[in-house]
Structure 1
């Protein structure tokens, strides 16, 4: 079987299992381009696979992402007797570049918003970037989820967003606060001025200057420039500077801190946070919960409280 046909078959199985698999498909497409889409699976050698994995850049987590995608694909092919063996290296290099999510402070967000004043013109208007940043900060949505919102998905009267066909082909409702409702209302009035005119359900909430829907890569570039202008950077020696995706970790950590401060049963509420974020499991949510100083303090206070109760009993 040719490589392109095998990839198509594999992705059908991925989709049938309820996963979009965009990152997997991206890696497999690059691999097909590297060795040729028309290659017979059995003709692909381990040395070619290793060369694709190594690339021409320093070792990073992307090596392991490529390895994971190819391993799943070739296991699928081996189980169906499409290849005689898996042409991947048996040992994988250890990567020491573990990325720790950055938790934005309220001051960080204030500086980001303030830096939008006088920002140079880009395809993404300052007001659009402002609302996007505040929406991600206030809801923990994935960037792709926010960019795919349509006007029909925003119910300001019910303070509810409908997030459709997310990472695992699921649709969920995301409640939003009064302040965010006001921000979205003002943005819709300013950008979609003809509110009295009937709108199509698929009219994008967020638009570029040319009327099109912003791309994730374009928003990330605009945010990187904004972060640099605002002087928001990490000083913990990490290789990577704060990303827009870290707003998701920020939302999760801040929610935990609030629950700790309220004396809530965090273990019982954690599945609710996982559902709100659109995760398939609690384990996926834990990735976004680094031990920030504030979270560590609150956890320590809770532990001290339980220890005191134990001593009294």
Structure 2
């Protein structure tokens, strides 16, 4: 498993991707009573993946992630590529329309929120961010003059630029003043560090204590980084905003099966309804394929105001 993690980090996999691969490789090994993968091959992989589909009844995407993890193990870690798996039973993929909130539902939800969580939710909707992208924002990623946000190392390891809503500028500036005050207090205590990706800390050792590299939504606690004496303030946990948003949905009386990620779906759908072209929405969302963005055209078609024939009777 140490070799798996080493190869993941050498290839700059995201932490979530690495954890997913480690999880499914461990599941595969434990399924076969802890036999070493070197002693197994395509038939054992087929048995495991078919078990997931038949007995565990996992979704198509879950089975695909497990397959990708095991193929990665054999191709990149063990350097022992698998042969053809003719007996593999793939789960049929179901195409579902994403849940979208109306503009009134979004507004009602924001009205029952407050503080930092409200600002984060408004930014998620106003810029079309993923939760991980929002909590990972640094001070340097905000350009108030150009009214843009730069998302670094998003899904697929890509950077992109998206919108900064004009109505959030003043509030975000006041929030950053509090972040700067917190940072100054941390420096006075001998801390003030912010964790930096990859080996950037060794290249720019002073940058981690600069305000530019601090997280826009910092954690409330300091944690050791690099060594036990170097205290850093990481970003807020994603569960904080997820729980706050779920609670707000209940208070606002929104009965849809929504999550905080629904704000990103709503961002795209509302832009499309307003006449924004699909290619621009693709760039703002950071989708690699236009086909991924095209799902929102189905949402528009499904919610388009069409008169029922019953109303003409």
TM-score of the two chains, using structure 2 as the length reference:
0.69
Q: 2:168 aligned to 180, 187, 210, which one?
A: 180
Give the whole-Å Cα distance in 2 for the aligned partners of 1:65 and 1:219.
Answer: 29
Aligned-residue offset at 1:127? 1.0
Paired with 1:69 and 1:23, the residues of 2 have a C-alpha distance of 14
- Alignment correspondent of 1:277: 285
In the alignment, does 2:15 pair up with 1:25?
no
Q: CA deviation at 1:137?
A: 0.8
Look up the match of 1:224: 246
Distance of aligned partners of 1:4 and 1:77 in 2 relative to their CA distance in 1, 3 Å threshold: same
**Residue 130 (structure 1) shift:** 0.3
* 2:138 paired residue number: 150
C-alpha separation in 1, matches of 2:126 and 2:157? 23
Query: In 2 relative to 1, CA 220–83 (structure 1 residues): closer, same or farther, beyond 3 Å?
Result: same
Distance 1:106 1:28, change over 3 A: same
Return the alpha-carbon distance in structure 2 between the equivalents of residues 40 and 244 of structure 1. Answer: 39
Q: Deviations over 1:183-241 (max 9, x none)?
A: 3123324554479999522211113444652122343233222222322222xxxxxx1
How far did 1:134 drift?
0.5
Rounded Cα–Cα distance in structure 2 between residues aligned with 1:282 and 1:40: 38
Aligned-partner Cα distance in 2 for 1:30–1:84: 20
The structural deviation recorded for 1:57 is 5.0
The answer for unaligned runs of 5 or more in structure 2 is 186-208, 222-232, 308-313
Instruction: Check the 8 A contact 2:50/2:88 in 1, yes or no.
Output: no
Q: Is the 8 A contact 1:49 1:88 kept in 2?
A: no
> Paired residue for 2:258?
242
SS at match of 1:291: helix
Aligned to 1:121: none
Distance 1:75 1:86 in 2: 13
Q: Which residue of 2 aligns with 1:64?
A: 63
Which residue is equivalent to 1:292? 300
Other-structure match for 1:263: none
Which stretch has the larger CA shift, 242-251 or 162-171? 162-171
2:236 maps to what in 1? 214
Q: Which deviations, in whole Å up to 9, do the C-alpha atoms of 1:260-279 show, x marking residues without a partner?
A: xxxxxx6xx32222112222
Alpha-carbon distance between aligned partners in 1 of 2:74 and 2:301, rounded to the nearest angstrom: 42
Aligned residue number for residue 119 of structure 2:
131
Work out the number of aligned pairs and report it: 267
CA distance in 2, matches of 1:8, 1:55: 33
Aligned to 1:43: 40
2:80 to 67, 82, 97: 82
TM-score, structure 1 as length reference: 0.69
Runs of 4+ in 1 over 6 A off after TM superposition: 194-198
Question: Alpha carbons of 1:28 and 1:42: their partners in 2 closer, same or farther (altered >3 Å)?
Answer: farther
Match of 1:163 in 2: 151
When residues 105 and 53 of structure 1 are mapped into structure 2, their CA distance, relative to the original with a 3 A threshold, is same
Task: Extract unaligned runs of 5+ from structure 1.
Answer: 117-125, 235-240, 260-265, 301-313
- Counterparts of 2:248 and 2:54, CA distance in 1: 31
CA deviation map 1:122-158 (0-9, x unaligned):
xxxx411101111011110111111111112222233
Q: How far is the alpha carbon of 1:61 from its aligned partner?
A: 4.4
- Alignment partner of 1:292: what SS? helix
Q: 1:249 to 1:8 in 2, by over 3 A?
A: same
CA-atom RMSD in angstroms: 3.8
